[in-house]
Chain A
Amino acid sequence: MSFNSIPYLLFLPMVFAVYWLLPTRMWQNVFLLAASYFFLGFVQPWFALLILAVSSVNYLAGLAMQRWPRQKRLVLVSALVFCLGVLGYFKYANFFLDNVAALFAALGLTTFRPSLAVILPVGISFYTFQALAYSVDVYRKRTEPQRNFIDFCLFISFFPQLVAGPIERSGDLMPQVENRRRVTPARINHGLMLLCWGFFKKMVIADNTGLIAYKVFSLTDPGFYLVWTGVFAFAIQILADFWAYTDIARGSALLLGFRLSRNFDHPYFATSPADFWRRWHMSLSYWLRDYVYIPLGGSRVGSARAAGNIMITFLLSGLWHGASWNFVLWGGYHGLLVLGQRGLRKLVLRLPLPDPGRLRPGVQGAKWLVTFVLVCIGWLMFRVTDTDRLFGLLHLAPWHAGPDEAGIAAYLFFLSLLYSLPIWLHGLAHLRWMRHHRLGDALPDRLLMARPLLMGLLLLGILVLRSPEPSTFIYFQF
């Protein structure tokens, strides 16, 4: 079930109504679990069985690690193998078989390539990572194993964050599952605000700029200017799309008394590649940092190995997004950017440059621009899944363009810019005034009345400017 669909607009109020009617936390949890499984099984009922299996294995693993501490490594490895096996089969089996067949073909060997008719279960990348993190945390004794099976299943499958995150840690979400939730005017208010802002970002910004990107990448022979305008439109689309999902998830959760983590912090205002990853899909970045990068040794090893750790982490991040070489390339590219940034930083520190404080606004501006352009280059790799076409587009030069193309591209660029203006203004306001009072989070009480007005404007924007061509969330495919 997609958030931007009529069924969800019916589903959420219905869950809200029944949920708050139930007398005890236990019944509320049972109902939320049933609702979450219905939400997931709405498309394919067996998706719910799969998440039940993943939940059961990790639940039992947690209990087993506590019961048999000497065998806990074995138990953990078993749970990891199961979770990664499920993820690998459903997400990467065909990719693996394709590449093995291609490798043999390159060696001159013909092979029989069995094709697996596998449907990628919705949200599998997110909930397997959440379950894995739980098992690792129990292993590291950072969290106590959950004894209540219903509570545990709800922690894994809580419907607002089920399909596209944020990936929650047991330390954050589990206590909320275990304790009675309260409904307060402020929470309802905040939740509704997040829902409005999320729907606006999806239906107005993401869907309109997405249409521009789609048109550009549908062309058989786009020239240089059009390609990069399409990339700009796609950069806006993917941010607005994914951020919208997170906001709707957080808003829905708040209506039910839960608080979910933030996933974005104005990533296009980042001033370096590493800064970008601290702001983009934060729950995945921190997950990879805590469960891949640091266990590999992080930066507390020799510089060559630290560089290797960074590359492994980013390559995995790319592969997590999709079973395709363009995603691996995208991950590797970002790994190289972060390494390049580190190298450059060491070099700059050695140079006799004037006091950076005096150049600050200009330097910051330049750093922002360079980072944004580099991130956009990455988005081209993300958008174009056919690697031959991708390299063809990357080789385009400014003179590879038709006579009118610059004007056409400029028009589409400004159209994308106008549609995305609220995101840029929000970011600027955030930078300038709202460090401590973020729009997405609680406004001070004295500004409570500002919310309905702001919500009214957002609803008006949705009514007037929504795209005639709604699309599904991009991150649903991951």
Chain B
Amino acid sequence: MMAKRHRIALLVLVAALAGLLVSLNLAALVNRLVIAPRAVRAQQGWRVCFSGPARSLPVDGYTAFLEGGSRVGLNPDFHHVVAWSAWFVPETGQYKMGFAADGTADLWLDGRPVIRVRPGTGSRHAPERWLALRRGVHLLRVELDSASGGGEFSIGVRIPPLMRMKHLEGDMVAMPRLGSLDTWWWIMRLARPMALFSGALAMSVLLYLLLPLTLAHRSLAVSVTVLLALAPSLLIPDMGRREPYIGPMVHRELARRQPQFVFIGNSMLWSRIDDNLLSHLLGGVPTYSIVNFGGLSAIHYLALKYLLIPSNIHPRRVFIFFRGTTLVQPSMRTTGPYYEALIRRISPGPDAEFERLAHGRRVSVASGLRLALNRLFAVQGNRRSVRDALGQAALFMVVPGLDNEHAKERQQLLARVNERFGLKNVGAAMDQESMRSNARDPLAFRSAVNDSFLPAIIRLAREHDLPLAFIRVQERPPADGLMQDTPEMQRFMADLRSYLEQNNVALYDFTGDPELPLAMYGQGDHIREPKEYTPIFFKRVRTLLQ
């Protein structure tokens, strides 16, 4: 006969698991029972939206086809090629479809390419196209080839009659006729704490039940289990989780140089400003560029906060270089190993503002505890390293040798592998990957600015008495004329200018500058020779360089 305490434990286990079952399926249930029927009735929007895991998109495709740098095909962290498809069910009418992507990407509708985005075309903001659609089901398909990691795309559609941009997302509903879903949204948000509680309870009871059954000596069993729980951390030390914080080094350098003008930006800045030349043009006034390759507004915010401000220098002005709408796209280029490593290099620890804006997370006691547990239990953090090591071992078996020549040969082989499995070489069997898409319409400046890093950057600069200027670089111009913004982009820039003026921040826009023809450009939006650009910059923004 089973002991009474075991019977009680079993009853608690049943209750906990039932709670877990309900909470894990709550979102799917709400979707199936409430949202999907409404979508079908409305005949507009995504037919199937919510699903359990946050990043799982409703697709009719296949499993992911991914390329991952040295972990080819097995990890989406770096280079990845994905296809993703979903249904769009509009009423008959004219629709304007917008598509933005971080990399090479095509948007297909019913098997026909509709919008193409190519890196280096200067189209950082969403290209849009009018489409006449008939009532019924249309198949949307996105093919994306991202080489930078953490790639993103967003699809939006301007729905008549208001023509307000609605972003289509996998885990959000874009159904204008459904009314408010707020109540259901809150119910679904309850699922998470409920699942955590039930899961923890179930796990505790299971351990209690199984351990005495498994081994004769409880103390021994507990020791073994504790050892097992810690084994991952013991076996795989916390390697590479913390990049060296470069702050002190930059602070020393800034203190030594005492620059009067500081520039913050990414490769757009690097390919445009030659510090020595600019300093010379300024009559020997020192300047300094803080370049974080690939970084966008989130990285610029961290650079300002942790690299420039703690150095206690007081430059006459700080310039931040940007392109298109990226100032109000807070989560862009904040994920993937490269950007995560970059963030760890330029910030000493988790930044509450950054976590809130880039990832929608709050830094709290609970998150601190989670972080501490993650550091103790380093498996997840080291997963990439271990998988990477396995890939490297396989490469080493093909090209053995420890010298640089062989290492180079291995990298070349890997590049060839990636190329062989590229988008152009795979057939119809392409797949989906869960993707993040921007939740907001970046072109709608006023609705996007409050959730962006822009106010935080301005506030920081003001608090530390740093005059600020934003420089919008010109993207790659067309071969036959000057660069021109779309009407939406013109409106965006007008809103941005007005916002910055209200905050007493300068803005200079190089778009349409006749002295910046296509001939000056190298790859993509980069200028071929900074020495050619720097004098133009000096001439144009002389008033800001006083």
Q: Answer yes or no: A107 CB below 8 A from chain B CBs.
A: no
A224 to chain B, nearest CB (A): 14
With A212-B73, A456-B228, A463-B379 in contact, do A218 and B213 touch (Cβ < 8 Å)?
Answer: no
Instruction: Judge whether A408 and B232 touch: CB under 8 Å.
Output: no
Q: Answer yes or no: A339 CB below 8 A from chain B CBs.
A: no
Q: Answer yes or no: B430 CB below 8 A from chain A CBs.
A: yes
Q: Answer yes or no: B224 CB below 8 A from chain A CBs.
A: yes
Chain A positions 6 through 42: 1 when the CB is less than 8 Å from some CB of chain B, otherwise 0: 1100100110011011000000000000000000000
Q: Answer yes or no: A465 CB below 8 A from chain B CBs.
A: yes
User: Which of B63-71, B144-152, B326-334, B485-493 binds A?
Assistant: B63-71
Residues of B within 8 A of A226 (CB): 420
Q: List 15 A-B contacts (CB under 8 A).
A: A21-B2, A185-B213, A185-B216, A192-B214, A214-B429, A407-B413, A408-B416, A410-B398, A412-B417, A418-B393, A456-B228, A459-B228, A460-B235, A463-B383, A464-B232
Per CB-CB distance, the 6 closest pairs between chain A and chain B, nearest first, are: A456-B228, A414-B394, A415-B394, A414-B397, A218-B429, A17-B10
Pick the residue among B214, B227, B383 that contacts A189 (CB under 8 A). B214
With A408-B417, A411-B413 in contact, do A17 and B427 touch (Cβ < 8 Å)?
Answer: no
Chain B positions 385 through 403: 1 when the CB is less than 8 Å from some CB of chain A, otherwise 0: 0110011011101110000
Instruction: Judge whether B398 and A414 touch: CB under 8 Å.
Output: yes
Instruction: Judge whether A460 and B52 touch: CB under 8 Å.
Output: no
Q: Bound complex: CA of A226 vs CA of B416, how far in Å?
A: 13
Q: Bound complex: CA of A218 vs CA of B10, how far in Å?
A: 48
Instruction: Judge whether A418 and B386 touch: CB under 8 Å.
Output: no
B interface residues with partner A (beta carbon < 8 Å) = 2, 7, 10-11, 13-14, 17-18, 20-21, 24, 52, 63-66, 72-76, 202, 206, 209-210, 213-216, 220-221, 224-225, 227-228, 231-232, 235-236, 379-380, 382-383, 386-387, 390-391, 393-395, 397-399, 413-414, 416-417, 420-421, 425-427, 429-430
With A208-B74, A449-B224, A456-B227 in contact, do A415 and B63 touch (Cβ < 8 Å)?
Answer: no
Looking across the interface, which residue of chain B has its beta carbon closest to that of A405?
B420
Given contacts A6-B52, A215-B426, A408-B413, 13 further A-B contacts (CB under 8 A): A13-B206, A17-B17, A17-B209, A18-B14, A20-B10, A21-B7, A404-B416, A408-B417, A411-B414, A412-B394, A418-B393, A465-B383, A469-B66
Looking across the interface, which residue of chain B has its beta carbon closest to that of A460?
B232
Q: Bound complex: CA of A456 vs CA of B231, how far in Å?
A: 8
A interface residues with partner B (beta carbon < 8 Å) = 6-7, 10, 13-14, 17-18, 20-21, 183, 185, 188-189, 192, 208, 211-212, 214-215, 217-221, 226, 402, 404-405, 407-408, 410-412, 414-415, 417-419, 448-449, 452-453, 455-457, 459-460, 463-465, 467-469, 471
B27 to chain A, nearest CB (A): 13
Instruction: Judge whether A14 and B65 touch: CB under 8 Å.
Output: no
Instruction: Judge whether A452 and B14 touch: CB under 8 Å.
Output: no
With A17-B10, A20-B10, A464-B232 in contact, do A10 and B416 touch (Cβ < 8 Å)?
Answer: no
Residues of B within 8 A of A405 (CB): 420
Instruction: Judge whether B379 and A468 touch: CB under 8 Å.
Output: no
Residues of B within 8 A of A410 (CB): 397-398
Looking across the interface, which residue of chain B has its beta carbon closest to that of A455?
B228
Residues of B within 8 A of A20 (CB): 2, 10
Pick the residue among A217, A404, A468, A471 that contacts B420 (CB under 8 A). A404
Q: Bound complex: CA of A217 vs CA of B425, how far in Å?
A: 11
A200 to chain B, nearest CB (A): 14
Residues of A within 8 A of B64 (CB): 468-469
Instruction: Judge whether B13 and A467 touch: CB under 8 Å.
Output: no
Looking across the interface, which residue of chain B has its beta carbon closest to that of A226?
B420
A413 to chain B, nearest CB (A): 8
Instruction: Judge whether A453 and B391 touch: CB under 8 Å.
Output: no
Instruction: Judge whether B210 and A17 touch: CB under 8 Å.
Output: no
Residues of A within 8 A of B398 (CB): 407, 410-411, 414
B408 to chain A, nearest CB (A): 14
Instruction: Judge whether A7 and B383 touch: CB under 8 Å.
Output: no
Instruction: Judge whether B386 and A465 touch: CB under 8 Å.
Output: yes
B224 to chain A, nearest CB (A): 4
Looking across the interface, which residue of chain B has its beta carbon closest to that of A466?
B383
A215 to chain B, nearest CB (A): 5
Q: Bound complex: CA of A117 vs CA of B214, how far in Å?
A: 49
Q: Bound complex: CA of A135 vs CA of B376, how far in Å?
A: 58
Residues of B within 8 A of A456 (CB): 224, 227-228, 231
Looking across the interface, which residue of chain B has its beta carbon closest to that of A459?
B228
Instruction: Judge whether B391 and A415 touch: CB under 8 Å.
Output: yes
With A188-B210, A468-B66 in contact, do A448 and B10 touch (Cβ < 8 Å)?
Answer: no
B446 to chain A, nearest CB (A): 38
Instruction: Judge whether B75 and A219 touch: CB under 8 Å.
Output: no
Q: Bound complex: CA of A183 vs CA of B1, how far in Å?
A: 11
With A411-B398, A415-B394 in contact, do A468 and B202 touch (Cβ < 8 Å)?
Answer: no
Residues of B within 8 A of A419 (CB): 390
Q: Bound complex: CA of A307 vs CA of B394, how far in Å?
A: 44
Looking across the interface, which residue of chain A has its beta carbon closest to that of B399?
A407
With A189-B214, A408-B413, A408-B417 in contact, do A465 and B235 touch (Cβ < 8 Å)?
Answer: no
Interface centre among A192, A415, A467 (most CB of B within 10 A): A415
Residues of A within 8 A of B76 (CB): 468
Q: Bound complex: CA of A218 vs CA of B416, how far in Å?
A: 17
Q: Bound complex: CA of A453 vs CA of B416, how far in Å?
A: 41
Looking across the interface, which residue of chain B has its beta carbon closest to that of A402?
B420
Instruction: Judge whether A14 and B14 touch: CB under 8 Å.
Output: yes
Residues of A within 8 A of B395 (CB): 411
Instruction: Judge whether A464 and B383 touch: CB under 8 Å.
Output: yes
B415 to chain A, nearest CB (A): 10
Residues of B within 8 A of A468 (CB): 64, 66, 74-76
A209 to chain B, nearest CB (A): 10
A410 to chain B, nearest CB (A): 5
Residues of A within 8 A of B17 (CB): 10, 13-14, 17
Instruction: Judge whether B14 and A471 touch: CB under 8 Å.
Output: no
Interface centre among B14, B220, B221 (most CB of A within 10 A): B14
Instruction: Judge whether A219 and B425 touch: CB under 8 Å.
Output: yes
Residues of A within 8 A of B72 (CB): 411
Q: Bound complex: CA of A448 vs CA of B10, how far in Å?
A: 25
Q: Bound complex: CA of A471 vs CA of B430, how far in Å?
A: 15
Residues of A within 8 A of B11 (CB): 17, 21
Residues of A within 8 A of B390 (CB): 415, 418-419, 465
Instruction: Judge whether B52 and A188 touch: CB under 8 Å.
Output: no
Q: Bound complex: CA of A448 vs CA of B390, how far in Å?
A: 31
Pick the residue among B52, B225, B430 that contacts A218 (CB under 8 A). B430
Residues of A within 8 A of B227 (CB): 456
Residues of B within 8 A of A214 (CB): 63, 65, 429
Q: Bound complex: CA of A50 vs CA of B132, how far in Å?
A: 47
Residues of B within 8 A of A188 (CB): 210, 213-214
Instruction: Judge whether A220 and B426 touch: CB under 8 Å.
Output: yes
A182 to chain B, nearest CB (A): 12
Q: Bound complex: CA of A408 vs CA of B215, how far in Å?
A: 48
Instruction: Judge whether B394 and A452 touch: CB under 8 Å.
Output: no
Q: Bound complex: CA of A247 vs CA of B213, how far in Å?
A: 21
Residues of A within 8 A of B213 (CB): 183, 185, 188
Instruction: Judge whether A215 and B73 touch: CB under 8 Å.
Output: yes
Instruction: Judge whether A448 and B14 touch: CB under 8 Å.
Output: no
Interface centre among B227, B232, B394 (most CB of A within 10 A): B394
Looking across the interface, which residue of chain B has its beta carbon closest to that of A186?
B214
Q: Bound complex: CA of A212 vs CA of B214, how far in Å?
A: 38
Pick the residue among A211, A460, A464 that contacts B73 (CB under 8 A). A211
